[in-house]
């Protein structure tokens, strides 16, 4: 330990020097050369860490890790997505890994529930009662992958996991709000047509009142007029009178379909949908088309498991993490006995709020940074339906939104026309509502979500055969979902939590800017591995 602190002192001195010279705007290469001259390769590593200037041109598919010598031992704490990816990459480079996982299964929040699966909720462990059919599964954690999550998609390619398109935004799905339009569900497409129509009509009026006289030339104003007419499907007089884009009141095949009468603008403005959920598909992570593995999101976990040769010890609860000068010493309990594991490097995927309670010898700064990561909650319900009634309503995949506590209903994009299906009956983000659901008994949760569903689909209750509920804040060994830094803690602690401390690296979506996404977990693993690579190169 004395050595470490002495080492820290020396390197921090060197760092001050580097921070000063970096003021002179050296190029990265010049800077690192100077660092190397002044303090050797370890100093370069430490300087790179402090200034966060690791090269980011390296792609996940080609990390180019320094080949292992067959002797270097790695311990990975937590078999979640980041832990599995770390093991996969290190194994590929020739290192020996051991994964210690506290729960009965690997995968972390990548959890697909099927017949007979244990839902290990704190105090309420229960078994999934879905029928034993290959299409009856529920993605309780991550459930969609946008096309730009190239790390996630890389692993799907590398692990030979077939993907399919998953509808996320579905204009034929409903929006239902208790306090608007008598609580009646409306097709989202009707809102969209009205929202565009109203907005376009206002633009049309404004142009005719010469509001944009100063900003736009006459010619550009005419173009904008044209855009507004087309965007909102306005009549020739610039009025919005409803649009066939939202369907028609009569059959459109054998007669001229008449458009729905639009809502009154003031009633429309009172509704919340157009301000909120209507725009969800605009978010970069939810842009269409999204993807999902065929047969459930946990095909990714299964793919890793199949490929890995590392020792995976489940039900191994870490008790103590001791960072040594050249490694780590882990104490864990497995089957009512304590074990010790010494390794050269440690990658730690344990949820930060749980890590705070585990014995360790982290520096106060590092610990404070880890402790700044707060618990976050999400809540999901899955229902097995005896019939795919939604398909008869023209809904194939996508999401209905509601102002009720269940918030969302998701329809499966896979196995269309099968007899039965699993739908998501609640996806709750609001912390109060998450807490409300979590605090109910298992049956009461399902009843509440059923009542909510009744206001959206006729006879919803009678289709339900069984259900599961997943309060992420109460799932054993996780007790939360993603991360939640207080706003003021991001600048103070985030970089520090990304570590490492000595040979101990934090990983997981919790130390990414993308909590709750597998891409965040993969990115964290990639970043930690690049730092590891720099360290091991510097030490050799």
Partner 1 sequence: MKTLRTGFHLMLVCLSLLGTTHITFAKETQHDKPTNATGKVASPLVVIPEALQYCTVCHGTQFKGDFATGAPNLTGLPDWYLTKQLTAFKNKSRGAHANDLSGHEMRAAAESLDDATILLAVDTITRIPYIDSMPTTHWQRLAFKAAQDDVKHTNKESQTLTPSINNGKKLYATCAACHGNQAEGNPALKAPPLTGLNRWYMAKQLLHFKQGIRGNQSNDPASMQMKAAASILKSNQDIVDVVTYINALNQQELP
User: Binding to partner 1 by residue 124, rule CB under 8 A?
Assistant: yes
Choose the stretch contacting partner 1; rule: CB under 8 A; options: 54-62, 92-100, 120-128, 204-212: 120-128
Note whether 123 binds partner 1 by CB under 8 A. Answer: yes
Each residue 285-324 as x (binds partner 1 by CB under 8 A) or -, in order, gives ------------------------------x-x-xx-x-x
The secondary structure of residue 379, as a DSSP letter, is E
Q: Which is nearer to partner 1, 118 or 367 (CB)?
A: 367
Q: Does 375 bind partner 1 (CB under 8 A)?
A: yes
Q: Which two tokens stand for residue 317?
A: 């609860």
Q: Are 467 and 381 in contact (CB under 8 A)?
A: yes
The whole-angstrom separation of Cα 18 and Cα 316 is 43
Query: How many residues line the site for partner 1 (CB under 8 A)?
Result: 49
Q: Alpha-carbon distance 42 to 117, whole Å?
A: 48
| Residue in this structure with the two tokens 């100063």, named with its chain if needed | 214
Task: Give the one residue of 74, 102, 234, 423 binding partner 1; rule: CB under 8 A.
Answer: 102
Residues 6+ apart with CB under 8 A from 235: 241
- Interior CA angle at 366 toward 365 and 369, to 5°? 85
Closest approach of partner 1 to the CB of residue 264, in Å: 35
**127-151 exposure pattern, b = at least 16 Cβ within 10 A, e = fewer:** ebebeebebbbbbbbbbbbbeebbb
Binding mask 426-465 for partner 1 (x = CB under 8 A): -----xx--x--xx--------------------------
Task: Say whether residue 55 binds partner 1 (CB under 8 A).
Answer: no
What string marks each residue from 125 to 144 as x (binds partner 1 by CB under 8 A) or -? x-------------------
- Binding residue (CB under 8 A) for partner 1 from 368, 393, 451, 466: 368
For residue 187, the cross-strand partners are: 174
CB of 482 to partner 1, least distance (A): 14
Contact between 472 and partner 1 per CB under 8 A: no
Residue 290 tokens read as 């999204």
Does position 275 interact with partner 1 (CB under 8 A)? The reply is no
- Segment 324-363, which members bind partner 1 (CB under 8 A)? 324, 329, 331, 333, 335-340, 352-354, 356-363
Burial 321-341 (b: 16+ CB within 10 A, else e): bbbbeebbbbbbeeeeeeeeb
Least distance (Å) from partner 1 to the CB of residue 495? 18
Q: Which two tokens stand for residue 2?
A: 């004395």
CB of residue 350 to partner 1, shortest distance in Å: 10
Q: Does the N-terminal peptide bond of residue 500 adopt cis geometry, omega within 30 degrees of 0?
A: yes
Is the CB of 21 or the CB of 358 nearer to partner 1?
358
Decide if 181 contacts 267 (C-beta within 8 A). yes
Measured CA to CA, the distance from residue 509 to residue 524 in angstroms comes to 6
Residue 476 touching partner 1 (CB under 8 A): yes
- Distances in Å between the Cα of 25 and the Cα atoms of 28, 312, 481 are 9, 47, 41
Tokens 């989202």 locate to 188
Residues that bind partner 1 (CB under 8 A): 1, 102, 122-125, 315, 317, 319-320, 322, 324, 329, 331, 333, 335-340, 352-354, 356-364, 367-368, 371, 373-375, 431-432, 435, 438-439, 473-474, 476-477, 479
């Amino acid at each position: 330990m004395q050595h470490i602190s002495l080492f820290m002192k020396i390197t921090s001195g060197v760092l001050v020097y580097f921070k000063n010279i970096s003021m002179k705007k050296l190029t990265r290469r010049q800077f690192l050369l100077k660092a190397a001259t002044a303090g050797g390769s370890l100093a370069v590593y430490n300087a790179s860490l402090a200034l966060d200037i690791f090269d980011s041109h390296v792609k996940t598919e080609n990390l180019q890790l320094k080949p292992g010598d067959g002797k270097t031992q790695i311990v990975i704490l937590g078999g979640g997505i980041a832990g599995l990816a770390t093991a996969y990459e290190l194994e590929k480079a020739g290192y020996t890994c051991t994964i210690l996982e506290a729960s009965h299964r690997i995968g972390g929040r990548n959890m697909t529930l099927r017949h007979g699966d244990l839902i290990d909720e704190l105090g309420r462990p229960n078994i999934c009662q879905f029928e034993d059919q290959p299409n009856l599964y529920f993605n309780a954690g991550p459930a969609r992958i946008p096309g730009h999550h190239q790390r996630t998609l890389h692993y799907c390619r590398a692990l030979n996991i077939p993907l399919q398109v998953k509808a996320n935004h579905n204009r034929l799905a409903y929006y239902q709000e208790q306090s608007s339009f008598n609580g009646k569900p409306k097709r989202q497409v009707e809102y969209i047509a009205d929202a565009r129509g109203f907005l376009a009509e206002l633009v049309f009026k404004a142009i005719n009142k010469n509001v944009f006289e100063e900003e736009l030339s006459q010619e550009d104003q005419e173009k904008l007029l044209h855009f507004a007419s087309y965007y909102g499907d306005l009549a020739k007089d610039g009025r919005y009178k409803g649009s066939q884009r939202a369907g028609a009141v009569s059959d459109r095949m054998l007669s001229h379909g008449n458009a729905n009468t639009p809502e009154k603008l003031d009633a429309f403005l009172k509704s919340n949908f157009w301000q909120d959920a209507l725009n969800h598909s605009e978010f970069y992570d939810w842009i269409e088309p999204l993807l999902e593995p065929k047969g459930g999101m946990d095909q990714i976990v299964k793919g890793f498991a199949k490929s890995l040769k590392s020792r995976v010890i489940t039900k191994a609860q870490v008790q103590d993490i001791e960072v040594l000068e050249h490694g780590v010493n882990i104490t864990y309990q497995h089957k009512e006995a304590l074990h010790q594991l010494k390794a050269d490097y440690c990658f730690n995927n344990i949820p930060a709020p749980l890590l705070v309670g585990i014995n360790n010898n982290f520096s106060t700064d590092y610990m404070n940074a880890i402790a700044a990561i707060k618990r976050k909650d999400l809540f999901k319900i899955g229902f097995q339906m005896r019939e795919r009634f939604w398909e008869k309503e023209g809904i194939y995949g996508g999401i209905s939104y509601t102002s009720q506590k269940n918030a969302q209903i998701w329809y499966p994009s896979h196995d269309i026309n099968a007899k039965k299906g699993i739908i998501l009956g609640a996806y709750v983000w609001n912390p109060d509502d998450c807490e409300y659901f979590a605090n109910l008994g298992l049956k009461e949760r399902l009843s509440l979500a059923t009542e909510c569903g009744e206001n959206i689909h006729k006879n919803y209750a009678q289709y339900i055969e069984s259900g599961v509920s997943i309060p992420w804040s109460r799932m054993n060994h996780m007790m939360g979902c993603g991360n939640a830094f207080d706003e003021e803690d991001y600048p103070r602690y985030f970089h520090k939590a990304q570590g490492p401390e000595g040979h101990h690296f934090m990983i997981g979506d919790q130390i990414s800017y993308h909590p709750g996404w597998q891409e965040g977990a993969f990115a964290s693993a990639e970043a930690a591995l690049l730092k590891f690579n720099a360290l091991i190169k510097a030490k050799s």
